[in-house]
Chains A and B, each alone.
Chain A
């Protein structure tokens, strides 16, 4: 966000000479970091622009729901759209099959025609939502200025990603199910990251590593807690010294509490996802738009690379919604306005409701 602002100001010329030349899908962040998109425009906005290169993102899964896959899919698809190399590791037997489920970017024409409509609607509804709308516009504008590649795309979860995106590229898939220890994964990560060394100056390409359900019980090593921790540490250090972002999802309930905390300390950016129970009536009354929500996203920690100041967000819990059943959207939780009919807390309204009850009985 801050970067977008400074670019628009009169200092833009100085900045563009000082800033390293960046490849597609990358932009400058604060404190000399370079950001890449998470594939979810809303999440980028929440995190202040995206994931910074060299950071380790950890996502705590909901043990009973596959919401972390939504984050992974968008993250991977965004990388492929930008032509960034990808390493995907999963406990599934055929990890390459997962590539077939990646969403495709919403066509830009479609995006434009679709864009203003809901935004206007929102803007009319509540004044403070203008701010959000404004930020989004600026982001889009920024993306268009950079050339034909936008920084972040919206993905249509209903359309699969076209094959040509992952045919010609460096896409590496590893199954971590059968390997007795982590050395294979470690080697693959090392070779993958050795292609993306960090040197000052131009960054033409950034890699993405996605590891799904790292400590799941299908993996043989899932009880070797120190080995896993040691792998995460070495991955973190390798990623830090290369142009890439690693994202690891794990079910925290399968780890012992003390190790779960250790993993959380390892993360630069720590998120968690949670599904919504089907009919939680109390929540449905509290929150607006409850019927569209599919889950919650919690932001526990935002990466602070090259700075000691913590990032304090206005809200840490966001609802995950599927707009038109296609687009993944994150929104702040809005408390529903207290309804006159449901608010029967005091005595007088109690009598009212009793009278209305008799009324309803008349029908």
Chain B
């Protein structure tokens, strides 16, 4: 029972049925979280899954939020060694903590640093051997900081995402992004969120419980899968070595 229930998230994403071909191939996954409930654990989970499924799979991690050591420690506890994966050429870590797009010359170099970043991703994927090219996951942590790096121009970030989207059709890779739901207020029009929801094939929302924080239940996840036309909702508890997912009221199963 426990074995089964811990895979609710995988089930909702379709990861439980077929490992090959990778169910997220050519898909865009958007994760949205809140101040109270961080959704970064889903990124870690997906990163681990994508690295451990197949010896030819490759992950490209674009980090705006944390340095490499942070992810390395977390993934090590999840049972995945990022350093050795990086040395094997299966994990590419792009440290974007210091990235700041130039202000002013938008006319000549739209998006500034983001264009260069896209070029870097494209180059990395093109340089991969044929078999790995079909198994790439691009993971971005997180889009709100990318907006800050682009000096608040969400249009440039959206452009960047559209470009990355073309990669998903060109190379059949998957694109996984994290963003915060509560930073877009109604008055500025939450166009960015709507655009993301439109782009995404799978939308995962991490929310706190309405009743507040609890030690046994860290929050709830809502996964809407456009491809399978279904949504699922369940509670989760984050642990160091895994994420426990269960239907409401069944945490002790």
Contact = CB atoms under 8 A, between A and B. Distances in A.
Contacts of B215: 312
B238 A310 contact: yes
B213 A312 contact: yes
A16 interface: no
Given A258-B185, A307-B73, A312-B218, 17 more contacts: A31-B73, A226-B152, A233-B145, A234-B98, A240-B66, A240-B67, A240-B97, A258-B188, A261-B183, A305-B70, A306-B73, A308-B238, A310-B38, A310-B218, A312-B213, A312-B214, A312-B215
29 contacts: A225-B152, A226-B151, A229-B152, A230-B100, A230-B148, A230-B149, A230-B151, A233-B149, A234-B100, A240-B66, A240-B67, A240-B97, A257-B185, A258-B184, A261-B182, A262-B144, A262-B183, A265-B180, A265-B183, A300-B35, A301-B35, A301-B36, A306-B70, A306-B73, A307-B73, A307-B240, A308-B238, A309-B240, A310-B218
B45 to A, nearest CB: 9
B162 to A, nearest CB: 22
Given A226-B151, A270-B35, A308-B40, A261 B180 contact: yes
Interface string B39-55: 01100100000000000
Interface in A296-323: 300-301, 304-310, 312-313, 316
B239 A309 contact: yes
B148 A308 contact: no
B88 interface: no
Contacts, number: 78
B69 interface: yes
Nearest to B98: A237
A308 B144 contact: no
Nearest to B239: A309
Interface string B228-242: 000000000011100
Interface of B: 35-38, 40-41, 44, 66-67, 69-70, 73-74, 77, 97-98, 100, 144-145, 148-149, 151-152, 180, 182-185, 187-188, 213-215, 218, 238-240
A305 B34 CA distance: 18
A265 B73 contact: no
B68 to A, nearest CB: 11
A316 B213 contact: yes
A264 interface: yes
Contacts of B185: 256-258, 261
A289 interface: no
A350 interface: no
Contacts of B240: 307-309
Nearest to B78: A308
Contacts of A175: none
Interface of A: 31-32, 225-226, 229-230, 233-234, 237, 240-241, 256-258, 261-262, 264-265, 270, 300-301, 304-310, 312-313, 316
Main secondary structure of the interface of B (DSSP, over half): loop
Given A226-B152, A258-B188, A261-B183, A309 B238 contact: yes
A237 B97 contact: yes
Nearest to A241: B67
Contacts of B44: 308
For the complex of A and B, the 9 pairs showing the least CB-CB separation, nearest first, are A226-B152, A258-B185, A306-B73, A237-B97, A308-B41, A261-B183, A312-B215, A264-B35, A262-B183
